[in-house]
Amino acid sequence: MQEETIEEIHKPSILQEYYVYLEDMRVLLYQSTILFIITFIVGFIFSGKIIQLFLTLFDIKSVSVVVTSPFQFLDLATDISLFIALFISIPFTIIRIYMFLRPAISKSELRSFFFAIPISFILFIFGTLYGFTSLYYGLQIIAQVNVSFGLQNLWDVGTFIAQLSTTAVILGGLFQFPLFIFLLSKLGIVTRKMLVHRRKIAYSTIIIVVALLPPTDGLSLIIMSLPLIILYELMILFS
């Protein structure tokens, strides 16, 4: 009876157990915040070279990229720094959360995680690069059309880079969709029959979402929609 009493005294309370988890979460949040601040500062320092790289890669004939306000370059440098900080700190935070939850994850879930993370990264990079490439040729066509109508191409540097980055990153995100559906199919939530029956809805959704991204010409719509449709068909094949 006395031994049981001693064990009960030394047994950690529920509040103490939660305190340990909260302390781990505090450390995780602290590390992520520090990493975000450091990468933001580094990104701001090198933002000028990043902007020059953008303009060099997207050097379109008959187009002059201009600054339309005194502090526009500062705003653009801040936006680029924010994007870089998020791009680096978010994956780090996801990995740290995984390490925090790892003891509670089963072996099958662990295998799914190790399968999903590299595939997700590859799909995102491929989608982003594809977005930049398709935008480059799409913008060349638009610039030539403007010149054929006697119009001068004076493009705002902030809008130009923002549209490039936004479209490329969104396409990178859309390329995650097949992986998401594939994982749902492995969990039994989505079946191949369901994917086949909803093919028209999926195609329509892809086209509508891509149509909202710049540039809005028909050729760019086809170029950016086609790989997503192909990925959907591959997803049906392997689900």
Task: Specify the range with the lowest mean pLDDT, choosing from 3-12, 139-148, 169-178.
Answer: 3-12
pTM, rounded to two decimals: 0.71
Residue whose C-alpha is closest to residue 119's, from 68, 49, 179, 200: 179
> Left, alpha or beta for 211 (phi > 0: left; psi -120 to 50: alpha)?
alpha
**Quick one: average pLDDT of 110-125?**
79
pLDDT score of 4 more than 60: no
The answer to whether residue 190 scores a pLDDT higher than 60 is yes
Q: Of 230, 236, 61, whose CA–CA distance to 142 is shortest?
A: 61
Q: How confident is the model at residue 46 (pLDDT cuts 50, 70, 90)?
A: very high
Q: Which of 24-28, 82-86, 113-117 has the lowest mean pLDDT?
A: 113-117
DSSP 154: E
CA distance 210 to 220: 9
- Which of 43-57, 104-118, 143-157, 173-187 has the least mean pLDDT? 104-118
> What is the distance between the alpha carbons of residues 184 and 128, in angstroms, rounded to a whole number?
24
Between 4 and 111, name the one with better pLDDT.
111
The mean pLDDT value for 33-49 works out to 94
Q: Rounded mean pLDDT of 189-195?
A: 83
